[in-house]
Structure 1
Amino acid sequence: RVRSAATRHAPLPGRCAHFVLRKRRFCRMIPAPGRRFCGEHGHEEEQNDRKRIPCPLDPKHTVYEDQLQKHLKKCNSREKPKPVYFVQDINAGLRDAAEIPEKQVSTLFETGKLYLKVLHLSAGLELHLQEQILSHQALQEALNDPKNGESAFKHLKQQASILGNMEKLHLLGPGRCFVEFGAGRGKLSHWVDIALGNVENVQFLLVERATTRFKVDGKHKGRDSVFERLQVDIQHLCLNKVPVLEKKKLPVVGIGKHLCGAATDLALRCLVESYTICCDRDHEEPAPKRSRAAETEVAPHNSAGNESTTEDHKPVAGIVIALCCHHKCDWTHYVGREFFKSVGLGPVEFHYFQRMSSWATCGMRETTSKASTSEDSEDQTNDTEEHEQTLSRTESGSDTLQGILSVEERKEIGCLCKRLIDHGRVEYLQQQGYKAELQYYTDSAVSLENVLLTAVPSPSLIPEPTI
């Protein structure tokens, strides 16, 4: 792959003559006939007297000044019309998070009260998780394919275990809509579809706020199942307004692989609050008119009756989400506030629990100034996934606690912080009428973020599949 000295200083034949300093190579775009530079770098053409300026919507690319107005109408960075399922901040939660005073922050760290709270809480809660490392036949061929490298193999093992847990919960079946939050390329939905085979009346909704390259959706064209992408932030997603769900009324199964931080809380609220409540309202029938006196007499009975009618059905058939990045959680969006408040904690403690949670994956890194060897760095890179990158010294808190806690102590406290945050999510789901559990779904050698959150409605609330 190493080019000769002669070719390194000249563009490839038929390619742009602009040298990209950041990539240390020539631009590979094809210029117009008779030109040496492509349209992006045309301002370097000696014969070209047209001026190119940065696009006001996105300065990362340029545009001819005399074509600016035309470009603004079709620029990919322009503000697009909001889809029908966009409802501003519908899943955001309450915005009453308190600011954390700097003096209070330093006091918490210096006195060590925070560590005592972590250890005290962990002693009173069952935070030791069971292993549910499963697999699924749908991925066996890919798992045995020697063409897959180590990174691909790790992802396949995780996806296989997620599908195995879904099968154990009887969530792989016809008449369902699978909503993958933080879908990315859509690989998890891809394998769910393969596992389902030729079942009827299945829909996939892939929720991703960013545009994604190399999507696998195209592999499923012409199949009975339907893949649809929803390019929207989970914070603003109202599932009840998605046309296909309005039309088919399918029970929903929420899934996700490594749904980062606050995105998990947004997804949970999207499923069990905004979607469920909207569906319950749709199923409610208007009460017959009655006199004010009669209304007063039966008010208590009616109130109880309404509660039973809204709780006798759950449009969400199940939730299976692999958790990660607890350091990116946010008190504003967090669904487990009631649990934290019940044990005497608030936004200040949550702020530091979320920060210390990063020690579970970064705590094993020594805080001394001694440089690691290249061999150590290589091993660390191989074991670290995209969501497990090293945080800054300030974020991990290592600069504040250097020499106070050992590596193992930091790791233990980080894991406890993760489990406490997750416990709040479990209690939230239980209060919403779900049987929720946490389990290790893969080995830590495969992924340091190896905890799976599952939830299914209580037996009396399980929705019937639509066939």
Structure 2
Amino acid sequence: MSDTKRPLIKDPEPVAKALAGTLEPLVLNHRPRNKRQKVHGPPPPIPSRPRQCHFLSPSKNKYCTLTTKLGNKFCGEHSMHEVSSGAGSDNAQDGGEDGASARKRIPCPFDPSHTAWADDLKTHLYKCNARPRDNKAHFSLDINLALPRLESPVDPITMTEDVNLSIPSDNKAKRDLLAKLSQEQLLSLIKKIQSLHAKYVPSIRTLILDHPALDERKKMVKNIKHAHQQASLLGHMKRLNMLDDPTSCYLEFGAGRGELSNYLKVAVDDHGSSTFVLIDRTPSRNKFDSAILGLEEIKSLVKRYTIDIKDLVLAKVPELRRDVTATQRVPPVAAKQDTNTEADQSSQQEQEYLEKKPVVAMSKHLCGGATDLTLRCLTNYQQSERGQSLLPSPVKGILIALCCHQLCHHYMYPNQEFLKEIGISPEEFVYMTRMSSWAVSVNQTKAGAISTTDIGTGRTLANDDNSSTDSPAAQDDEHQVETDSELEELGSHIPALDFQARERLGQQCKRLLDIGRVRYLNENGFDAELVYYVDQETSLENLALMAVPTSSNQ
């Protein structure tokens, strides 16, 4: 029998480096954990169940429950801990009485979370799913960042306004930054935020709409708050004429399972003519991709990209081309012609470049900096198409339900000029994002509806329409957070900052950041506005950013 046919890869360099031991293992789910460390008791007794794995998990303080092979103490996942000299085990080979030639499993060089046979490592590396992939044409590292991201922390206190640097984004640096804040500094910053809010943030209207595409969904589920939000978003898309052209390409950023695109498919009734592109940083289970394809003979064109929005070059996504359709899902290769002159070659490339579909961007609750990255991604695409596209405006519409401003980062925020105009430094930006969590914080306790006064303004806060959190939505909302303990402790010791004042201040921080986003879109050829698309009984994060091209670009 011949050896198993190995998959052909264009670049064997990662495999060679891994075999040589020079490739650093990938770090999976590298996120700081702020949870309190558990204190474990004594280790449990050795498993009594026959053939139970003897691997003791240090984090859970219990044994693995998987079943082992006959004669082994460890399952296949933890077989690297198997003693190779164990006589009579399945790992022992015929040639060695002492078990020196026994097969051994070792951590994969690409991803240590799984193992491979040491004597068959090369074959495993060729087919390992964790093997580094070649970057696609639509990938460009950090292309949508507003400022270069710092690799090493710096002291934000020593920064000057003309230095093109940003506050470190790691949680430890932000906690250290909050620890330096005094009550006097906090009071001064609060007065500044309230003054800026009164000056720059206009009144925001409430417009709650509906769409029949969600009628059946509302009858099927008990908790219909998500259906209400999706129906209102689709209603606003219809109001802004984003659903008129069935040949459009609908981009869902932060798509997750793609549920919003699924009901958009019902609302558009495209008969296979629309294109749906779903973008998310991580893969998701129970996806709606097959439902979005539809049941008709001609399926809709559905493509999912697992990529960070900060690295996405929208102009290079092939599904945006008009010659990529439901029946022709791969860009056709141009016929070979005699293009002897450079003018003929550039003319052919330009003709291919012009054929793009109108783009409608949407998202239901795009958390924190993901919204800022999306706006930069869309405006970068708009600028790349300007002067070359046959469309009046390559981006036909934008609709993003906003949330989780505490996850925003200074180096991602698109409107750096607005921050300079209102005098918000990178350090103050961090405080604003942290205080914004007070608007939806779960660790604030409401003692009663006590009338509170704005610091330095004399305005009453008790009867604010956007400040109530005693509703069912406030008790069961997917965007509730726990504020930073340092900032929460500091704010609770200021008499003028009771529950309602902190909640109102969190809303003001959110709206200041949102107004900067609106002005950024207005400066890039859009008519943008903020609308409360549902009430706070449905969701605490009930604000949406909506934008269409200006009349001159339509």
Query: Structure 2 counterpart of 1:83, which letter?
Result: K
Give the counterpart of 2:512 among 413, 420, 425. 420
Query: 2:409, 2:291 → 1: CA distance?
Result: 36
Contact 1:18 1:37 in 2 (8 A): yes
* Secondary structure class of the residue paired with 1:63: strand
Question: Is the radius of gyration larger for structure 1 or structure 2?
Answer: 2
> Post-superposition shift, 1:136?
1.1
Counterpart pick for 1:186 among 258, 272, 275 = 258
2:205 pairs with 130, 140, 160, which one?
Answer: 130
Normalising by structure 1, report the TM-score: 0.78
CA RMSD of superposed structures (Å): 3.3
**355 and 109 in structure 1: CA distance in 2 versus 1, 3 angstrom threshold:** farther
Name the amino acid aligned to 1:419: R
- Are residues 426 and 331 of structure 1, via their aligned partners in 2, closer, same or farther at CA, if it must alter by over 3 Å? same
Which residue identity lines up with residue 422 of structure 1 in the other structure?
Answer: D
Which shows bigger deviation, 312-321 or 181-190? 312-321
The change in CA–CA distance for 1:247 and 1:81 in structure 2 (over 3 A counts) is farther
Aligned to 1:289: none
Query: Partner letter of residue 201 of structure 1?
Result: S
Letter in 2 for 1:161: S
The answer as to 2:248 corresponding to 1:142 is: no
The superposition leaves residues 225-263 of structure 1 with CA deviations (integer Å, 9 ceiling, x where unpaired) of 211011211111111111121344111001011111111
Distance 1:16 1:454 in 2: 56
Q: 2:480 is matched with which residue?
A: 388
**Distance between the aligned counterparts of 2:532 and 2:443, measured in 1?**
20
Q: How does 1:158-237 map to 2 (within 5 A)?
A: 158-173=229-244, 174-199=246-271, 201-221=273-293, 223=296, 224-237=299-312
Secondary structure at 2:364 match in 1: strand
**After superposition, where does 1:312-351 map in structure 2 within 5 Å?**
313-351=392-430
Matched residue SS, 1:179: strand
Q: Which runs of 5+ in 2 are unaligned?
A: 1-46, 92-102, 149-163, 169-175, 324-355, 448-468
Deviations 1:13-32 (A, max 9, x none): xx975688649786468x78
Given residue 275 of structure 2, which amino acid in structure 1 is its aligned partner? Q
For residues 436 and 212 of structure 1, what CA distance do their matches in structure 2 show? 31
Identity %: 40
- The one-letter code of the counterpart of 1:430 is N
Q: Could you tell me how far apart the structure 1 residues matched to 2:446 and 2:112 are?
A: 39
Q: CA deviation at 1:190?
A: 0.9
User: Contact 2:217/2:227 (CA < 8 Å) preserved in 1?
Assistant: yes
Structure ranking higher in helix proportion: 1
Aligned residue in 2 for 1:303: none
Q: 1:427 to 1:136 in 2, by over 3 A?
A: same
Structure 2-normalised TM-score? 0.67
Tell me, in whole angstroms, the C-alpha distance in 1 between the residues paired with 2:177 and 2:443.
27
* Equivalent position SS for 2:181: helix
Whether the 8 Å contact between 1:367 and 1:398 is mirrored in structure 2 is no
Q: Structure 1 residues 102, 154: CA separation in 2 closer, same or farther (over 3 Å shift)?
A: closer
- Cα distance per residue 1:133-183 (max 9 Å; x no partner): 2221011111011xx243xx2222211111111111111131210011111
With 445-454 and 421-430 compared, the bigger mean Cα shift is at 445-454
SS of aligned partner of 2:143:
coil
CA distance in 2: counterparts of 1:217 and 1:103, whole angstroms: 43
Give the counterpart letter for 1:232 in structure 2.
Answer: I
The SS at the match of 2:302 is: strand
Give aligned pairs, total: 408
Distance 2:383 2:201 in 1: 31
SS at match of 2:386: helix
Q: Distance in 2 between matches of 1:54 and 1:391?
A: 38
Give, in whole Å, the separation in 2 of the partners of 1:256 and 1:20. Answer: 43
Q: Give the counterpart of 2:385 among 272, 279, 290.
A: 279
C-alpha separation in 2, matches of 1:335 and 1:426: 10
**Structure with more contact order per residue of length (Cα contacts < 8 Å, sep ≥ 6):** 1
For the pair 1:69 / 2:140, whether they are aligned, the reply is no
Distance 1:23 1:234, change over 3 A: farther
Amino acid at match of 1:129: I
**How many angstroms does 1:401 deviate by?**
2.1
Q: Select 2:145's aligned residue among 86, 92, 105.
A: 92
Distance, in Å, in 2 between the alignment partners of 1:119 and 1:211 is 41
- Measured in 1, the distance between the counterparts of 2:551 and 2:243 equals 17
Of residues 431, 444, 451, the one that matches 2:536 is 444
